[in-house]
Structure 1
Amino acid sequence: MLKVDLHCHSNVSDGVLAPPAVAAYARKGGVDVWALTDHDEVGGIRAARAAAAELGMRFVAGVEISVTWANQTVHVVGLQLDENNRALIDGLAATRAGREARAREISAQLEQAGIPGAYEGALRYVANPDLVSRTHFARYLCELGICSTTSEVFRKYLTEGKPGYVPHRWATLSEAMGWIRGAGGIPVIAHPGRYKFDATAEGALFDEFRQLGGNTIEVVTGSHTPDQYATYAEIARRYGFLASRGTDFHAPGEARVEFAQLPPLPSSVTPVWHDWF
């Protein structure tokens, strides 16, 4: 059975490793088919594709686009896309705009909470200056010893209602799916179990996604708890969605599940890659 991982990040967005190093780490974990899906950025795909070829892995070009839906941030992964598509490139550039201003506001709020110099500290973890993210701040606060894990930083400082939370208006769901589909790609709702929607709102998200031409959700992902694998497998069957799988890897030791430990999709769902090879 092929081990497929279709959700992964490098230091081109908020990961730690360069794309070739992520490829090597994935291969070491037994991955046969691998996608790089950096946040709002396709600049790492060329290096990732070359590294995957050298390692004997099949490669899938991807991206993870930040979307504002019902006043929350939702992520839509695009798979099997043309990273040179001009509309996609321009759309992602527009989505990235405003990250620096948000980062400076996060830093100002953290300073008010007694943590000065967070912007400069976060920049030490940034490889792509267009993509300063909350994860970079989280790593810096861990470096300071304020929290022991990035998840703890998010809980205490970087989510809604906490002292370092700054909202940002991302792309619309329609825009993101238009860029992905226009580039020949497959839109996927990333880690649906991570969003704080009630059942009605979640159903509305899936309905709009389907109306816009979407037919795939992540079922097994490092951002889901094990019990959510079964929950979203059932939702995939109910909606007629295909299922995707991926670690949501950002850094060794930082993910909930490493490449080698992520379980396969349940046999009750149809993998999004069922007709790719």
Structure 2
Amino acid sequence: MMAILNADLHCHSTVSDGTLEPEQLAARAKANGVELWALTDHDEVGGQHRARAAAQALGLPYLYGVEISVTFAGLTVHVVGLGIDPDDAQLRQGLAHTRGGRERRAREMAEQLAAVGIPGAFEGALKYVGNPELISRTHFARYLVETGVCQDTHEVFRRFLTEGKPGFVEHRWASLGDAVRWIREAGGVAVLAHPARYAHPSPTHEAALFEEFKGHGGQAVEVVTGSHSAAEAQRYAEMAREYGLAASRGSDFHSPGESHCDLGALPWLDGRLTPVWELLAHRIVH
């Protein structure tokens, strides 16, 4: 397969913090010209068989996926797993443990918001998610928009729910080594997600993340993603070459009304890079 492929290997459904069902995402991806698709819900593989079945019915090649929340040197970073076996027992157990602290954290977030005059945020956020194990900042953000506290979710994250602002509660996720190991042992490839989004305290911190990620067996990095500018895509293309990593491409689509980029609407990958799907040809479900 060539690098020039409209692959979208990062998006979210109602199974985590997206607003569309897996079947709706598959249809949207197909309609938008996506040629290889993966659903990558946060810390959850419960939508994978639905996504694969919907993709197969549409003739859309599919890769099983997940996005794992990781704590690295005081930062939360995300690792996407592509080509995984979603029924792998160790992976499922690890994800369940990673999800485990979300409800307690969400109640603390709601207490902080109540203290600044925004009551009922836990119950409000819960309306947007069926399972308290999967409640996230995104669900709180939707509640703050619904109640008119903020105009949109971008304003929410400027004023609330981020470090130093009301509603921010740190949570310790999986370790980087555990996340990469779960992905690899489930037959997949570990991808460092949207690296430009992490507020590294120094350039050496980012280099340490790349070094440790590769040292644990990580094989790819998202170069083209909905939150990367053209300059950032170029920078991480250079870092992919420097660290010997394959390149991935994914919109990080969550919702038609919220996302920076629609499914299938990303710029193309740099043709000099090794696309991650070349490492995963044997894992693609047709």
Fold shared by both chains (TM-score > 0.5):
yes
Q: 1:114 aligns with which of 117, 129, 136?
A: 117
2:162 paired with 1:159: yes
- Structure 1 segment 39-118 matched on structure 2, within 5 A: 39-118=42-121
Does the CA contact (< 8 Å) of 1:13 and 1:127 recur in 2? Answer: no
How many angstroms apart in 2 are the aligned matches of 1:70 and 1:38? 24
* 1:145 CA drift (Å): 1.5
Rounded to whole Å, the distance in 1 between the matches of 2:149 and 2:63 is 38
Residue aligning to 1:137:
140
Q: Deviations over 1:119-155 (max 9, x none)?
A: 1110111133320000000011011121122122112
**Residue from 246, 250, 264 that aligns with 1:246:** 250
- Structure 1 stretches (4+) deviating beyond 3 angstroms? none
Change (3 A) 1:191 1:87: same
Residue identity matched to 1:242: A
Q: For 1:133 and 1:275, locate their aligned partners in 2 and report how far apart those are by CA, in whole Å.
A: 32
2:253 partner SS: coil
Q: Is there any run of 5+ residues in structure 2 with no aligned partner, and where?
A: 282-286
Paired position in structure 1 for 2:259: 255
**1:88-110 alpha-carbon deviations (Å, 9 max, x no partner):** 00000000001001011100000
* Counterpart pick for 1:231 among 235, 254, 257: 235
Indicate the SS of the match to 2:273: coil
Structure 2 residue corresponding to 1:220, chosen from 224, 229, 235 = 224
2:10 counterpart (7, 12, 17): 7
Q: What secondary structure sits across from 1:40 in the alignment?
A: coil
Q: Which residue of 2 aligns with 1:181?
A: 184
Q: Give the distance between the partners of 2:88 and 2:172, measured in 1 at CA.
A: 23
SS at match of 1:130: helix
> What is the alpha-carbon distance in structure 1 between the residues aligned to residue 275 and residue 131 of structure 2?
32
Structure 1 unmatched ranges of 5 or more: none
Of 107, 127, 138, the residue aligned with 1:124 is 127
Q: Which amino acid aligns with 2:54?
A: A
Range with bigger deviation, 199-208 or 252-261: 252-261
Structure 1 position 275, deviation (Å): 4.8
Question: In 2, Cα distance between the equivalents of 1:155 and 1:33?
Answer: 34
Following the alignment from structure 1 to structure 2, what is the Cα–Cα distance between the partners of residues 124 and 2?
38
Q: Summarize deviations over 1:175-218 as a string: whole Å, max 9, x none.
A: 11111111011000000010011210000000011111112000
- Aligned counterparts of 1:36 and 1:56: Cα–Cα separation in 2: 16
Q: Once the two structures are aligned, what percentage of the paired residues are identical?
A: 59
Q: How well do the aligned residues superpose, as a CA RMSD in angstroms?
A: 1.1
Secondary structure in 2 aligned to 1:220?
strand
Partner residue of 1:269? 273
Q: Which residue of 2 aligns with 1:25?
A: 28
Alpha-carbon distance in structure 1 between the residues aligned to 2:130 and 2:226: 23
- The 10-residue stretch of structure 1 (249-258 or 11-20) with the greater mean CA deviation from structure 2: 249-258
Q: TM-score, normalised by structure 1?
A: 0.97
8 Å contact kept, 1:7–1:36: yes
Letter in 2 for 1:29: N
Q: Which has the higher contact order (CA 8 A, sep 6+)?
A: 2
- The aligned amino acid for 1:148 is Q
